[in-house]
Each structure stands twice: as C-alpha cells, then as structure tokens.
C-alpha cells in the first residue's frame, strides 16, 4: 500500500510517500523560516498562503523521486490537527480533493501521533510498549504508548512548551527567529556555573512540568545586567552564551528527571523522544545514557515537522483498517482524545 502524507500544521510544508512493504520512498519539505523571519515569528495567514503554493509541486517532486504515478497512490494521509487553523485547512483541502479525484481513502492524522511514531521510521526502532516524550514548540508531554492508538497521557507542561520556552528565551536574548536551535548552539560556548536558574516542578512528584517561570528568570537576569552595564549593542557575547547554557541545563535537567520518573512509574524499558526539541544535542546526550533504558530518537530529518511521519502514521492506521474521518481540522486536539 502506497500512502501519500501531507503535513501543513505550521510553517513547514511536508509531503512524503510511504510504502507499507518498502518503507519510505520519498519525502519533500519546504520550510517557511526565511519568510517568517522578518516578522520574528510565524504569521498564520502568510503560512496558509505559502502552503497552497507548495503542496502541488512538492507532491509532484515526491512522485518523481519515488518513480510513481499519482494513480498508484492507495491512500492519502494528512495532518488534521493540532496546529494553525488556516494552515491545517490547506493540507486538509488538498488531501480530500485529491482523495476524491482518485477515489481513494483519506486518513486524518494527529500531528503529535506523527511525531511520536517517527522513531519507527529508523532501522533501529522501538517495540511496544514505550514511554514517549513529545517535545515540540507547542507541546511537552509524556505518553505511555502500548500500541498504535493506545496512548495514555502521563504528564505535561502546565504552561509553555519546552520549545516555546527555547524560542521565547532566544528572542529576549536577541537571537534571530527561530531561536531554539541557535540558543542550543550558543549553549556549547557557555562557561559552566556562571548563572543559576530554577528547575521548575522538579520535585512535584508527578510528571507535569512548567517552563514559563524559567523564561521569566532569564528576563529578570537580563534586565539586571542591562541596569548594570551598557548593553546598547546587546548583551556581551560570553554573558549571553553563559545564560544560554544555564537555561538549556535547567530545561534538560527537568526533562531528563521526569523521563526517569515516567520510566520508573510505567516499568517500561524504552524511551522515545520526538518533536523539534528532540534535535537538541544535550537532550540527546543525557537521555541516551539512562541506565537499563534504551532510548530512540527519530532521524534528525524527521525531528521537526515533516510529511514522512504523517505518511507513516497514516499507513499504520490503514493497516488497522481505520475508517476515514470527516473533512474538518482541529486547531486544538489533545492526543489522548484520538479515537481508534
């Protein structure tokens, strides 16, 4: 079965072809980062308009890459939510129109399920059950995953997502959008022990997290420095790098401590880390070395938003003969509310 996957929930247009026998045959991605950069963040209307322009050429490029024709597609999977309403609608309309024209089933996919299953695209992949840590720009959650569609929420951030905290902190440090990955790079250049930020909810005895206070702690520190020295040209480079390092240490201390707790609580021996922050080098380092635990990350190319994870999740649903959903999108959609 050949499944076309369409991702358009935010600022990346992703299209991919996944074959249930041969695996991933093609994937194409267009990132809108350069377009949104001048506004310092994603402009939803611009995102939607750009997706409309990209979907057809990316699909054609995928078919060419896989050496397939459009009528060889058996099903079309698309991201139904969560995400930006208008952006989601472009992918949903494209997928539904194509499915209607080809008379093939259309499979709505939860964006976070796509992320969560993306490590299964690797050769070295986890088996069920596992704990999934979903860390993206919009969500930070621990899920107990017993099978495709069997997901239990164990805990989540009660305010900002970890990626959002990276981005907001990067912005207040004067780093260009999208700042998360840049902040992580600068953290490598920091001198340890120069700042100390809190580890929010580290001892909360549950798997919930909070990251908005951490961003405020950085803001307070930056304001204090600005009141003491002349920062008209920005913070001194080394000071900024030191802040990046301690901020990253704080986020990752919380994530890895809660990950250990989630594994202990469930008794599962496998951990899957997915979503954009899963690209973070320090998170990868710390979570790869948990005693007695095997940790799985998606290939770097599938950490951030992409069509491959949607095509793959769609193919898994198809294998379970999931009924097609109605044509709607869900800007807000808790992962544990998906019905299988």
d(CA 145, CA 127): 10
Judged by CB under 5 A, the number of residues near Zn ion is 2
The interface region with Zn ion, picked from 45-53, 67-75, 116-124, 132-140 by CB under 5 A, is 132-140
Compute and round to an integer the Cα radius of gyration of the chain.
20
Q: Determine the 3-state secondary structure of 289 from DSSP.
A: coil
Task: Indicate which single residue of 280, 286, 295, 322 sits in contact with ligand KG4 (rule: CB under 6 A).
Answer: 280
Partner from Zn ion, ligand KG4, none binding residue 166, C-beta < 5-8 Å depending on class: ligand KG4
d(CA 169, CA 7): 27
Partner from ligand KG4, Zn ion, none binding residue 280, C-beta < 5-8 Å depending on class: ligand KG4
- Least distance to ligand KG4, CB of residue 244, Å: 10
Asked if residues 52 and 88 have their Cβ atoms less than 8 Å apart, the reply is no
State the binding string over 151-170 for ligand KG4 (x if CB under 6 A, else -): ------------xx-xx---
Within 8 A by CB and 6+ apart from 264, the residues are none
d(CA 146, CA 152): 8
The interface region with ligand KG4, picked from 92-100, 117-125, 135-143, 265-273 by CB under 6 A, is 135-143
d(CA 88, CA 96): 12
CB 196: neighbour CB atoms within 10 A?
A: 11
Task: Indicate which single residue of 28, 136, 221, 245 sits in contact with ligand KG4 (rule: CB under 6 A).
Answer: 136
190 binds ligand KG4 (CB under 6 A): no
Asked if residues 126 and 114 have their Cβ atoms less than 8 Å apart, the reply is no
Partner from Zn ion, ligand KG4, none binding residue 163, C-beta < 5-8 Å depending on class: ligand KG4
Task: Indicate which single residue of 13, 32, 136, 249 sits in contact with Zn ion (rule: CB under 5 A).
Answer: 136
* 304 CA to centre of own chain: 5
Of residues 164 and 305, the one with the C-beta less far from Zn ion: 305
CA atoms within 13 A on the CB side of 126: 26
208 binds Zn ion (CB under 5 A): no
Judged by CB under 6 A, the number of residues near ligand KG4 is 19
305 binds Zn ion (CB under 5 A): yes
């Amino acid at each position: 079965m050949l499944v076309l996957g369409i991702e358009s929930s935010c600022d990346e247009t992703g299209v991919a072809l996944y074959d249930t026998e041969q695996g991933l045959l093609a994937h194409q991605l267009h990132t809108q980062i350069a377009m949104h950069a001048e506004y310092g963040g994603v402009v939803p209307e611009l995102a939607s308009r750009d997706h409309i322009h990209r979907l057809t050429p990316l699909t054609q490029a995928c078919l060419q890459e896989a050496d397939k024709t459009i009528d060889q597609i058996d099903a079309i999977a698309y991201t139904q939510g969560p995400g930006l309403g208008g952006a989601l609608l472009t992918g949903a309309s494209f997928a539904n129109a194509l499915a209607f024209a080809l008379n093939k089933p259309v499979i709505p996919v939860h964006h976070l399920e796509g992320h969560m299953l993306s490590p299964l695209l690797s050769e070295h992949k986890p088996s069920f059950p596992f704990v999934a840590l979903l860390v993206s720009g919009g969500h930070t959650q621990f899920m107990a995953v017993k099978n495709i569609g069997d997901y239990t929420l164990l805990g989540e951030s009660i305010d900002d997502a970890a990626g959002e905290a990276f981005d907001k902190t990067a912005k207040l440090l004067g780093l260009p959008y999208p700042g998360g990955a840049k902040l992580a790079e600068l953290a490598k250049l920091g001198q340890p022990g120069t700042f100390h930020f809190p580890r929010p909810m580290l001892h909360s005895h549950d798997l919930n997290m909070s990251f908005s206070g951490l961003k405020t702690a950085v803001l307070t520190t930056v304001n204090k420095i600005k009141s003491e020295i002349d920062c008209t040209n920005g913070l001194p480079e080394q000071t900024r790098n030191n802040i990046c390092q301690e901020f990253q240490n704080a986020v990752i201390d919380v994530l890895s401590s809660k990950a250990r707790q989630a594994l202990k609580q469930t008794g599962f021996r496998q951990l899957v880390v997915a979503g954009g922050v899963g690209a973070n080098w320090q998170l990868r380092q710390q979570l790869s070395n948990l005693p007695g635990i095997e940790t799985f990350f998606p290939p770097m190319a599938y950490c951030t938003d992409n069509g491959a994870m949607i095509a793959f999740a769609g193919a898994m649903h198809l294998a379970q003969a999931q009924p097609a959903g109605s044509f709607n999108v869900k800007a807000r959609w808790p992962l544990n509310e998906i019905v299988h």
